[in-house]
Structure 1
Amino acid sequence: MAKFYRLPEAPGAAEYLHAVLCSPVYEIVQVTPLQKMKKISARFDNAIFVKREDHHQVHSFKLRGAYTMIAKLTKEQKAHGVVTASAGNHAQGVALSASMLGIKSIIVMPVFTTDLKVDAVREFGGETYLYGNNFDEAKIKAIELSQQKGYHFVPPFDHPEIIAGQGTVAMELLQQDAHLDRVFVPVGGGGLAAGIAVLIKQLMPQIKVVGVESKDSDCLRAALKAGKPVELRRVGLFAEGVAVKRIGKETFRLCEKYLDDLVTVDSDAICSAMKDIFEDIRAVAEPSGALALAGMKKYIHEHNIKEERLAHILSGSNVNFHGLRYVSERCELGEQREALMAVTIPEKRGSFLKFCQALNGRIVTECNYRYSDAENACIFVGVRLTKGLKERASIMMQLINYDYKVIDLSDDEVAKLHVRYMIGGRPSKLLCERLFSFEFPEAPGALLKFLQKLSVYWNISLFHYRSHGTDYGRVLAAFEINNHEPCFEKYFTELGYGWHDEENNQAFRLFLSN
């Protein structure tokens, strides 16, 4: 039987290097391709390469870390089996790794995990245990099972063996192209970024390693600011593969020491990167899988990078098909190829024609309008862009010069996610109402829980639900309420859903309120 080098707690860089070079992962994985993206290379005047971690059996890099840790367990530990908590890629990595090694695996998944994910774990040989309403509750149960039943807990990122397994990605990168200038790595819990950074900095320190976070789950940025891991109040779940509230202790230690830089991007930029990947190499990345490319594009623009060799990690392709609708809607905004505006025009015949003429031949991508005033009409309009932000600003000035009142809604999340689908409805009487946005779990009883908790006390005067293919949907709701009811926000907190006060949202005021 093979003997593996086992890492101590908080290993040094040399120990990590040794562990990566001696990793057992190639018993289960093959070297993934480093593929040139020809279209985007030409567009950005750099040689851009993508590391295809979607080529694994489980369609993500998570298999590397899971197998490395499980393969190095003692004979006694293997006999007891392994347990983990996950509703995503780590779950599949643990299930397949354990199955290949002839070990029992139990994957604790939240009760409302989609059948697609549950079935995938079972197909790879894992036993699923549905428990809790979210990942944190599932993790508590998994640790409880490990303590009660003797199963060995396999964490998703914060363990030296997991980190070393992910570091094999960097070993392959250097073998495939030793002349890279920068490598862009997605950051969730930090396992992949830590593994790649610690290896590259030991072997070829001149290569810059840049971490990329989603703006909605930037736990590493928060930790760097605080000087230690801290917990985010809430995380956005569009890029669910990196939706981590608190970076790991060991992953933070390594990322703080070895990462050269960090960049954050929003959901629209991720959607744009997903489109780029599909158009260039015909791969359908999951949102977290396209995160590194989104960060690379932003970094190139901000630092005016030219004629360099750049690589990014396509970390996974376990995409929810229904989420592609949202991606399709938002990718043009992410690429700065569309502007959304609220424009006030006179309420008289021929006004919209004159407005289109004022655009000087630019393509109108969307227009929403309903009569509400005898003097003026406010239209929600989308305009195709060819030159990005500068053109957006130019259009705004051009319309202002034609004496139109214009408000840019391109960065207004409520406008993009809700208001554009609701235009045409205004209350027939004056209402004293407050507007809030919520993140709802896609789960039986979630809406009922919301209504039972709040509608008993306050009338819901506006409600719009929008799903974009993840385990969570988005809700915009208004309540008839004055501004001095102290109990109101307390009830929101008790609900346990993420929420945000949208009282001053311009799109709501222009199109939906009194």
Structure 2
Amino acid sequence: MSTDQERLSLAHALGARETLRPHLSPTPLRQYPRLDRRIGAQLYIKHENHNPTGTFKIRGGINLMHHLAGRGISGVTTYSTGNHGTSVAASARLFGLTATVVVPEGSNPLKVQAIRDAGAELIEHGRDFEAAGQKVAQLVEERGLYFVHPANEPHLIHGVATEFLEIVERVPDLDVMIIPIGAGSEAAAAITVLKQIRPQIEIIAVQAEASQAAYLSWKAGEIVTAPNSTFAGGMATGTAYPVPFALYKEALADFVLLSESELYEGIALAAHHTRNLTEGAGSACLRAAFKIRDRLAGKKVAVQMSGGNASGVELQKAMALPCLTDGTC
């Protein structure tokens, strides 16, 4: 983990943008007139699913590996349900580091293959996110690898924060930002940028009812654990984490919880309205916008489309839903 000298700040986010500039282009921020009419708001979809690796997480990976390579670190390890692991693997290879990624048994096969394709050693261990983390602790002890925490890592968060710089530069009078939350790096990144530039903005987090540790922690005002059974890998965590929680426990305006059925509806709605194939967490914010449309009426709202790495089984289930053809839910 990074040292206390590297606290989260807007200045570090701006620095991360310069680090990322040779490697990533800004992702599209698009409006879809039919969505605006359905929600009754000006909706801006941030297509982080268009990034290399198909997710926002590559931003954090590149920024972190840039700094680790500068410190002479040669090998990293992490645990992941898929997207974070792919980011770590691809970013490590970009800077000449080795990567070992531990995923829970039965993880999304598309994401597992992507981690392997990015050149990482992949280990399947345990039933869930937290069990995979126990294996990583063993690898750190045995091999002396640098542990890339999926949330408690300032350089990673500063990289992710660059997406919010892109949003607020395009829509400086934004009223609402809707983000998905699992481990919390994106929530921390959004708060770091948006609350400094536009303090009155509402940041609303979206989480799965089946894995609501972040919501329960926010509600309790302290970190708690909770059951973790959602199919949506980007939200599949059973606890909150200290670094992002320290920010979002006070700065988030609200949470929206989605059932598993609603998460599948989000995938179908994204396909209908934007012609993008997303994963459950990737389109969760769009589904949440439909759910709270009365609250959003007349506002300028940015919606995070965080990832597009759904399995074939997930897509088949979503594409059988009526909202794929009628665009409503």
- Do Structure 1 and Structure 2 share a fold, with TM-score over 0.5? yes
User: In the TM superposition, what is the alpha-carbon distance from 1:266 to its structure 2 partner?
Assistant: 1.7
In the alignment, residue 4 of structure 2 is paired with which amino acid? P
- Structure 1 distance, partners of 2:233, 2:149, is 17
In the alignment, residue 85 of structure 1 is paired with which amino acid? Y
The equivalent residue for 2:282 is 289
* Alignment pair present for 1:8 and 2:8: no
* Alignment pair present for 1:68 and 2:63: yes
The equivalent residue for 1:323 is 314
Q: 1:298 to 1:114 in 2, by over 3 A?
A: closer
User: In the TM superposition, what is the alpha-carbon distance from 1:329 to its structure 2 partner?
Assistant: 4.4
**In structure 1, the residue corresponding to 2:52 is in which secondary structure?**
coil
In the alignment, residue 96 of structure 2 is paired with which amino acid? G
* Alignment pair present for 1:49 and 2:49: no
- Structure 2 distance, partners of 1:129, 1:209, is 36
The equivalent residue for 1:122 is 116
Residue by residue over 1:423-476, the C-alpha shift from the partner in whole angstroms, topping out at 9 and shown as x without a partner, is xxxxxxxxxxxxxxxxxxxxxxxxxxxxxxxxxxxxxxxxxxxxxxxxxxxxxx
Residue by residue over 1:79-130, the C-alpha shift from the partner in whole angstroms, topping out at 9 and shown as x without a partner, is 3x11111231011100100000011111123344455333211211212233
The equivalent residue for 1:154 is 148
User: In the TM superposition, what is the alpha-carbon distance from 1:26 to its structure 2 partner?
Assistant: 2.6
User: In the TM superposition, what is the alpha-carbon distance from 1:61 to its structure 2 partner?
Assistant: 0.7
The equivalent residue for 1:219 is 213
- Structure 2 distance, partners of 1:254, 1:10, is 15
Contact kept, 8 Å, 1:182 with 1:309, in 2: the verdict is yes
Choose which of 6, 11, 17 in structure 2 pairs with 1:18: 11
Matches within 5 A, 1:362-441: none
- Structure 2 distance, partners of 1:193, 1:114, is 24
The structure whose residues are more often strand, as a share, is 1
* Alignment pair present for 1:58 and 2:53: yes
Runs of 4+ residues over 6 Å off in structure 1:
none
- Structure 1 distance, partners of 2:126, 2:146, is 20
Matches within 5 A, 1:445-460: none
Unaligned runs of 5+ in 2: none
Choose which of 89, 92, 98 in structure 2 pairs with 1:98: 92
User: In the TM superposition, what is the alpha-carbon distance from 1:133 to its structure 2 partner?
Assistant: 4.1
* Alignment pair present for 1:245 and 2:238: yes
The equivalent residue for 1:496 is none
Contact kept, 8 Å, 1:198 with 1:258, in 2: the verdict is no
- Structure 2 distance, partners of 1:203, 1:86, is 31
The equivalent residue for 2:163 is 169
Choose which of 305, 311, 314 in structure 2 pairs with 1:314: 305
Matches within 5 A, 1:480-499: none
Residue by residue over 1:392-429, the C-alpha shift from the partner in whole angstroms, topping out at 9 and shown as x without a partner, is xxxxxxxxxxxxxxxxxxxxxxxxxxxxxxxxxxxxxx
The equivalent residue for 2:26 is 31
Structure showing greater relative contact order (alpha-carbon pairs closer than 8 Å, 6 or more residues apart): 2
User: In the TM superposition, what is the alpha-carbon distance from 1:9 to its structure 2 partner?
Assistant: 6.4
- Structure 1 distance, partners of 2:49, 2:229, is 23
Aligned length: 325
- Structure 2 distance, partners of 1:169, 1:77, is 28
- Structure 1 distance, partners of 2:130, 2:39, is 41
Point out the more displaced range, 139-148 or 85-94: 139-148
User: In the TM superposition, what is the alpha-carbon distance from 1:230 to its structure 2 partner?
Assistant: 0.5
- Structure 1 distance, partners of 2:95, 2:190, is 26
The alignment-based identity, stated in percent, is 27
Choose which of 245, 262, 271 in structure 1 pairs with 2:264: 271
In the alignment, residue 8 of structure 1 is paired with which amino acid? D
Choose which of 103, 108, 127 in structure 2 pairs with 1:109: 103
**In structure 2, the residue corresponding to 1:51 is in which secondary structure?**
strand
Q: CA RMSD in A?
A: 2.3
Contact kept, 8 Å, 2:273 with 2:327, in 1: the verdict is no
Contact kept, 8 Å, 1:65 with 1:166, in 2: the verdict is yes
**In structure 1, the residue corresponding to 2:150 is in which secondary structure?**
coil
- Structure 2 distance, partners of 1:188, 1:236, is 12
- Structure 1 distance, partners of 2:237, 2:108, is 19
- Structure 2 distance, partners of 1:332, 1:280, is 10
- Structure 2 distance, partners of 1:191, 1:46, is 27
Contact kept, 8 Å, 1:185 with 1:211, in 2: the verdict is yes
Point out the more displaced range, 183-192 or 215-224: 215-224
In the alignment, residue 52 of structure 2 is paired with which amino acid? Q
- Structure 2 distance, partners of 1:240, 1:203, is 31
- Structure 1 distance, partners of 2:267, 2:306, is 12
Residue by residue over 1:337-368, the C-alpha shift from the partner in whole angstroms, topping out at 9 and shown as x without a partner, is 7xxxxxxxxxxxxxxxxxxxxxxxxxxxxxxx
**In structure 2, the residue corresponding to 1:155 is in which secondary structure?**
coil
User: In the TM superposition, what is the alpha-carbon distance from 1:25 to its structure 2 partner?
Assistant: 2.5
User: In the TM superposition, what is the alpha-carbon distance from 1:263 to its structure 2 partner?
Assistant: 1.8
Q: 1:336 to 1:171 in 2, by over 3 A?
A: closer
- Structure 2 distance, partners of 1:213, 1:112, is 21
TM-score when normalising by structure 1? 0.60
Residue by residue over 1:191-245, the C-alpha shift from the partner in whole angstroms, topping out at 9 and shown as x without a partner, is 101111221010111222111111111112211232211000x222222210111
The structure whose residues are more often helix, as a share, is 2
Q: 1:7 to 1:164 in 2, by over 3 A?
A: farther
User: In the TM superposition, what is the alpha-carbon distance from 1:52 to its structure 2 partner?
Assistant: 0.3
Residue by residue over 1:360-383, the C-alpha shift from the partner in whole angstroms, topping out at 9 and shown as x without a partner, is xxxxxxxxxxxxxxxxxxxxxxxx
In the alignment, residue 193 of structure 1 is paired with which amino acid? A
In the alignment, residue 121 of structure 2 is paired with which amino acid? E
Q: 1:9 to 1:254 in 2, by over 3 A?
A: farther
